[in-house]
Structure 1
Amino acid sequence: MKVLVGLSGGVDSSVAAALLREAGHDVTAFTLLLGHADPDGVHRCCRPSDVRDARAVAARLGIPHYVWDYQELFQQKVETPFLRGYAAGITPNPCGMCNRDVRFGAVLDRAIRLGYDALSTGHYARAWAGGLYRGLDRQKDQSYFLSRIPASSISRLVFPLAHLTKPRVRQIAADMGLPSAEKPESQEICFVSGRTSDFLAARLGETPGEIVDAAGRTLGRHSGIHQFTPGQRRGIGISGSEPLHVTALDAGTNRVTVGPRRSVFRDRVRLVECSRLLPPDDPWPETFGAQFRYRAVPAPARIAASSGNEMDLILTEPAFAPAPGQIAALYDGDRVIASGLIAA
């Protein structure tokens, strides 16, 4: 099989490429240039050192390697919506946007045009018989971030690490003598250097407003709603008789509402931009798991109403602070059956 594999220079993608090569596939590697340089001239995403590491791995494996510049598309589809989302009081998921529109969108289209049979990455997930499933290593499972990929694309994907744990991946890299065997994990948001709050403050500035309680009483002031997300407890800057959490953000009034922890749980969640991953003829399960954060335990759920690409869920166990803008991945066991964006 002719496979195009993403090679970031890290240990996961390196082992994915090595396993494909070892299995006898015709493998070509690529590295993406994504985030733009900071004012100091440093690329936080796909740094020059990462490109050098990827080239070294490709050379060790004896496979062709190319560097493709997708910075403009990344800015259009990921960075700009990320900033706009926070300015509007929602909490966007940049990995989900990148996977849908860049890595498994534009790049997959390019792979097909170039005659490749499949696109592969070092994600911990499983693509099988046209379905997307969790990876074996539950601590590293990335099916949540991949759930925004269109169903029509999944049959073209190969995830060689599906049945491996992270320690096993590092051992394989060491045994093969790959240069990335001991390379540290990458940071959570690839194009953000340092704290996300500092990154947002530098780009969105200050927009002072009120911090209020559920009754609308002013408790304090804030420097911008982009510094907050539902469920947040640290960094609010005010105290009460019990710990306070962010319960809501209102971009129209520029208000942050806070309350006790019990007030952030929700038993109903509305989703928009829903995408079904189950085949049209497969029956929809009466109950399923709804995962609202990476590594969160899915909440048992059922559909209360649906129309077009919108869906209202009822949760049998209230979930902690589903954040508007974040991904809701719906599971039937280990299989991803749909995803959407949390609206309320």
Structure 2
Amino acid sequence: MKEKRERVLVGMSGGVDSTVTAKLLQEWGYDVVGVYMKLHDNPAYHERNIERVRHVAEYLGIEVSVLDLTDAFKEAVYDPFVEGYRRGLTPNPCAVCNRHIKFGRMMEYADELGCDYLATGHYVRHDGRNILEAVDETKDQSYFLFDIDKSLLPRILFPLGEWRKEDVKAYAAKIPALQAFATQKESSEICFVETTYVDVLKKHMNVDMPGEVLDTEGNVIGHHKGYMHYTIGKRRGFFVRGAQEPHYVSRIIAEKNQIVVTKKDTLLADRIYFDRPNLPDSMRDFECEVKIRYRTKKIPCRVRIDEEGQGTIELQEPVYGVAAGQAAVFYEGPRLLGGGWITGAE
């Protein structure tokens, strides 16, 4: 009797990474089915991508479905994104989406289809217990996966974790039916932000509200065009009287529509506070390395978490631009330990 092949659901976006992921898994002997997730309301965007996904499905001879998760995405990701900026935070919607949608609702859909595994085109690896950085460090996406449920790892496949981006494109370019995917423009980092995040916020609130610029002692030293235009570390778009050198946003006071600015040498922080940790219960006082944004380098640090889940990070070297709402993600070498959500720094 022929042995039943293991079935895998592949999240397909219409891009080269998920396309090659589906092709590789089929070559490796899996019974592949695809799903395209509609996460936001942009008909032209979805029409274009669904056409690409169906082209790939036809080439591979696999079934593909469209899963409408717009309501779930709005509740879990989009609305908190808008509310975060309203409160003066700098949200990280991709990490939230990975927890609740891609490795939440999509995994539930895999169960409905009787799939053994869920696969995505993320550049990341895992050993069944821990997430590991991708071989291609320039494309590694482990930072955005810090908050997913690690108990799901035995059922998740990341075929591109051992690949480099240029090799993925070269692979697609050799297959006539997939050549167009090798040269198409890469999608933006945040799928529902077509231009800038401010344009998204304009749909929900007035972002152009002139306000005061303060120094670190609370003195009014200038003016700005509305606090939602600024994130921590930004140095343009506001006026400071008599400034002879650049000033940078160090704090946003949303309730008063004020921003606090300072010179670069005083923007440094060596202590970071965070909450909602996603770490094993045993990890309450440990040393590791931390990334405070996706594109920043790792910094050696000491982490302590109290009984209420409030964490403190003592950095061995100070960093610029620590923003509340972003993620502090902890590593031990290439191994992702977990992380938490930044609430402040000093």
Bin the TM-score by the shorter chain.
over 0.9
Q: Secondary structure at the match of 1:47?
A: helix
CA distance in 1, matches of 2:305, 2:144: 25
Matched letter for residue 24 of structure 2: L
Matched letter for residue 51 of structure 2: R
Matched letter for residue 216 of structure 2: A
Task: Could you list the structure 1 runs, at least 4 aligned residues long, displaced by more than 4 angstroms after superposition.
Answer: none
Match of 1:224 among 223, 226, 229: 226
Q: What does 1:140-289 correspond to in 2, within 5 Å?
A: 140-177=139-176, 178=178, 179-205=180-206, 206-238=208-240, 240-276=243-279, 286-289=286-289
Shift of 1:146: 1.2
Q: What does 1:105-124 correspond to in 2, within 5 Å?
A: 105-124=104-123
- Counting matched residue pairs gives 335
Aligned to 2:307: 307
Judged with a 3 Å threshold, the aligned counterparts in structure 2 of structure 1 residues 126 and 5 are, in CA distance, closer, same or farther, namely same
Aligned to 1:33: 38
State the Cα deviation string for residues 179-228 of structure 1 (Å, max 9, x = none): 42221110122101212223323432134321111121212222322111
CA distance in 1, matches of 2:307, 2:316: 21
* TM-score normalised to structure 1 length: 0.92
Q: Secondary structure at the match of 1:233?
A: coil
Judged with a 3 Å threshold, the aligned counterparts in structure 2 of structure 1 residues 227 and 24 are, in CA distance, closer, same or farther, namely same
Aligned to 1:139: 138
Matched letter for residue 324 of structure 2: P
Shift of 1:241: 1.7
Shift of 1:114: 2.7
Aligned to 2:317: 317
CA distance in 1, matches of 2:212, 2:203: 21
Shift of 1:92: 0.5
Judged with a 3 Å threshold, the aligned counterparts in structure 2 of structure 1 residues 5 and 302 are, in CA distance, closer, same or farther, namely same
Q: Secondary structure at the match of 1:247?
A: strand
Q: Report whether the alignment pairs 1:86 with 2:58.
A: no
Q: Secondary structure at the match of 2:57?
A: helix
State the Cα deviation string for residues 236-257 of structure 1 (Å, max 9, x = none): 3447221111000112322100
Q: What does 1:320-331 correspond to in 2, within 5 Å?
A: 320-331=320-331
State the Cα deviation string for residues 54-80 of structure 1 (Å, max 9, x = none): 110111111111111011111111111
Aligned to 2:3: none
Matched letter for residue 18 of structure 1: K
* TM-score normalised to structure 2 length: 0.92
CA distance in 2, matches of 1:310, 1:114: 39
Aligned to 2:94: 95
Calculate the aligned-residue CA RMSD, in Å: 1.7
CA distance in 2, matches of 1:145, 1:61: 29
Matched letter for residue 22 of structure 1: E
Q: Secondary structure at the match of 1:129?
A: coil
Farther-moved stretch of structure 1 (249-258 vs 49-58): 249-258
Q: Is the contact made by 1:285 and 1:332 (CA closer than 8 Å) also made in structure 2?
A: no
CA distance in 2, matches of 1:331, 1:285: 14
CA distance in 2, matches of 1:219, 1:334: 45
- Identity, in percent, stands at 36
Farther-moved stretch of structure 1 (26-35 vs 305-314): 305-314
Q: Secondary structure at the match of 1:9?
A: coil
Q: Is the contact made by 1:136 and 1:165 (CA closer than 8 Å) also made in structure 2?
A: yes
Farther-moved stretch of structure 1 (208-217 vs 299-308): 299-308
Q: Secondary structure at the match of 2:311?
A: strand
Q: Secondary structure at the match of 2:161?
A: coil
Q: Secondary structure at the match of 1:340?
A: strand
Q: Is the contact made by 1:292 and 1:327 (CA closer than 8 Å) also made in structure 2?
A: yes
Aligned to 1:76: 75
Gaps spanning 5+ residues in structure 2: where? 1-5
Q: Report whether the alignment pairs 1:292 with 2:297.
A: no
Shift of 1:308: 3.6
